[in-house]
Amino acid sequence: MQNHANHEALPPKTCSIERLVTLPEDVEKVLAGRKTATRRNGRYADVGEVMTLKGRDFVVEQVYSQTLGDLTEEQAQQEGYNSLEEYKQSILSIHPGMRWVPAMRVWVHEFNPVQK
């Protein structure tokens, strides 16, 4: 868990948390517990913010920057994919014309269900 000082050092959000997970298949992966992270080209949430999907709440636990080249097999599985290659092919199919550039920086948003 990041401390508050690190949290303040993050740049401003570029989008709202409502846009963090929008693809229907990704929503289903989150609801099924198979997706606990999402990567975006901007910062969509602050630590502690809550995302609501189909009436269920998920709290953002961590937000940090990472390069695509640093992405691990385990992190691809957190994204809801069986392998890094499967994740890579999915991202490229969602964004036609995009190239997989290992040096490209993305924002990682890790989240968990809110415990009632």
- Whether 47 and 60 have beta carbons less than 8 Å apart is answered as yes
Handedness of CA 109, 25, 104, 77 (dihedral sign): positive
Query: Is the separation of the CB atoms in 32 and 25 below 8 Å?
Result: no
- What token pair was written down for 72? 């691990």
Rounded CA separation 70/104 (Å): 10
Local confidence band at 96 (pLDDT 50, 70, 90 cut-offs): confident
| 27-42: pLDDT as tens digits | 999 999 999 999 999 9
Averaged pLDDT, 70-88: 97
- Under 8 Å between Cβ of 102 and 111: no
Is 90 exceeded by the pLDDT of residue 88?
Answer: yes
Averaged pLDDT, 60-66:
97
Report the pLDDT value the prediction gives residue 1, as an integer from 0 to 100: 39
Alpha helices in the chain (DSSP H): 4-9, 24-31, 73-78, 84-94
Name the nearest CA neighbour of 29 among 76, 87, 90, 81.
81
Radius of gyration of the chain (CA): 14
